């Protein structure tokens, strides 16, 4: 598990308040070191990623960026009471100066394009090779209506949180439906996904409805976009299952970041003027 050595509670609070004020003023992006420990920022800028996991009573967020949206994640986790939390943090390096509003809209549309996840690959630790992650991935008409819906590219950010529904046939966890929420603010986008059907590995049930959550946060920084993933599951940790879930969550986060990277490169947000 990667240890966290960020800031003392008082320093963290001051940093959050400063970032909240900056976001409210819709000011330009700050350096990554304003959101994570400077040593962690240096690793991200160098192309490395950060990973952490925790379980049981110690299940919590330890490498999350210092950002107001993370406070809501923490509150949700306390209410959820997960048995395992797996985190991953990446940096998408901005290839050129980009209009901030256009970049955040592009990031929102990438995270909204659930159909584009179909066919992506991830490294399967159990198989020891690359493997298709989603054989099927599509938005659907509603929680009880599996009629496929096409991805829609928005021309502007919604004023309120969106709730969407999806069907994904996963090579590990089977065919499931999810509730997905998306929202945005000055310089950030967030997405949350919750299973609304029971999940299994083969014939073995591993998670009840509403027991698996994946929360994404994209934050604009001077160097590019921070891409943070927190996966949590309220499951009975059977012998051998914890390691398998942890490896699966980490590798899925890496696959999600690769998918996000391709989407941002294809979107090519407008350059800043």
Q: Which phi and psi angles does 233 have, rounded to 5°?
A: -145, 135
DSSP, collapsed to helix, strand or coil, labels residue 127 as coil
Euclidean distance between CA atoms 198 and 160, whole angstroms: 29
Give pLDDT, residue 240. Answer: 66
Residues 141, 261, 211: CA angle, nearest 5 degrees: 45
pLDDT tens, residue by residue, 2-13: 333 333 334 444
Q: Is the pLDDT of residue 19 over 80?
A: no
Q: What is the mean pLDDT of the chain?
A: 87
pLDDT at residue 238 in the model: 62
Average the pLDDT over 147-152 and give the result.
97
All domains in the chain, ordered by first residue: 9-267 (3.30.530.20)
User: Of all residues in the chain, what percent carry a pLDDT higher than 70?
Assistant: 87
Q: What is the pTM of this model?
A: 0.88
- Sign of the Cα torsion 256, 257, 263, 267 reads positive
Helix (H, G, I), strand (E, B) or coil at 141: strand
The whole-number average pLDDT for the span 88-108 is: 95
pLDDT tens per residue across span 249-264 = 999 999 999 999 999 9
Residue 20 has what pLDDT? 44
Please, are residues 140 and 114 in contact by the beta-carbon 8 Å criterion?
Answer: no
Asked if the model's pLDDT at residue 42 lies above 90, the reply is yes
Residue range 198-228, pLDDT digits in tens: 988 778 788 899 999 999 999 999 999 999 9
End-to-end Cα spacing for the chain: 43
Question: What b/e string do you get for 83-100 counting C-beta neighbours within 10 Å, with b at 16 or more?
Answer: bbbbbbbbbbebeeebeb
């Amino acid at each position: 598990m990667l240890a966290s050595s960020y800031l003392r509670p008082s320093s963290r609070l001051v940093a959050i308040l400063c970032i909240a004020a900056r976001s409210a003023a819709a000011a330009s992006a700050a350096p990554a070191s304003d959101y994570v420990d400077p040593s962690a920022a240096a690793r991200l800028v160098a192309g490395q990623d950060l990973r952490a996991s925790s379980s049981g009573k110690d299940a919590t967020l330890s490498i999350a960026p210092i950002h107001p949206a993370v406070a809501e994640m923490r509150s949700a986790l306390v209410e959820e009471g997960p048995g395992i939390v797996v985190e991953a943090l990446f940096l998408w390096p901005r290839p050129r100066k980009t209009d901030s509003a256009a970049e955040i809209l592009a990031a929102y549309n990438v995270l909204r394009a659930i159909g584009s996840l179909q066919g992506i690959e991830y490294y399967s630790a159990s198989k020891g090779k690359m493997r298709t992650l989603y054989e099927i991935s599509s938005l659907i008409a509603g929680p009880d209506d599996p009629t496929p819906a096409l991805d829609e590219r928005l021309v502007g950010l919604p004023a309120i949180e969106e709730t969407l529904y999806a069907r994904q046939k996963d090579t590990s966890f089977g065919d499931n439906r999810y509730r997905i929420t998306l929202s945005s603010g000055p310089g950030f986008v967030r997405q949350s996904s919750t299973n609304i059907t029971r999940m299994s590995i083969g014939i073995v049930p591993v998670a009840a409805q509403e027991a698996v959550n994946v929360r994404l946060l994209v934050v604009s920084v001077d160097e590019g976009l921070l891409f943070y993933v927190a996966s949590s599951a309220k499951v009975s940790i059977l012998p051998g299952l914890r390691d398998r879930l942890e490896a699966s969550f980490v590798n899925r986060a890496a696959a999600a970041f690769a998918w996000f990277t391709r989407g941002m490169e294809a979107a090519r947000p407008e350059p800043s003027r």
